[in-house]
Amino acid sequence: MRRHIDTETPADIDPREQELQRVLSVLLPIRKQRLNRSERLQRKQKQQLQQSQQTYHHGTQQLQQSQQRYEQTVDVFAKAHQGKSEPQSQLYDAINTEQRQRTDLLCQQQQVTLLQQDMQKQQLLTDDAQREVQHNQRDVEKIEYLLKISGVTKP
């Protein structure tokens, strides 16, 4: 469609173009609101991911410390009781201590595994939020482009 350049005489305005401009002008604030909402969600998901990562790393550090303590306990137990004759009650006490530490270690390993799964789940949620932001950003850019080429300035 050829536009009329003479500013004194109004150009013929196509009713379809007017309707398109009106619809786009209504859609733009809605899409911007969606974009803002998705950006807020993305920030929240990133914060939760960082918290999840910190919790996981803290858990792995504690697990490593527990593993070292357990290994020391086993070494001490082996050195202290190997080849020695001693009362059965002392031996049972030492075995119970070692078993408690081993059970605690296994529980910590399970907890770290759960923390890792939680962190991976949070990473997926963060990735989804990022894709949603990109999608909403493209929508806003498309509408702004259509408004620009149709001759309407942005609100």
pLDDT value, residue 20: 87
Q: For 20-149, CATH number?
A: 1.10.287
Mean local confidence (pLDDT), 110-127 = 97
Mean local confidence (pLDDT), 41-56 = 98
Res. 112: pLDDT tops 80: yes
Q: Which two tokens stand for residue 18?
A: 């007017």
**How far is the C-alpha of 4 from the C-alpha of 35, rounded, in Å?**
36
Spans of all domains in the chain: 20-149
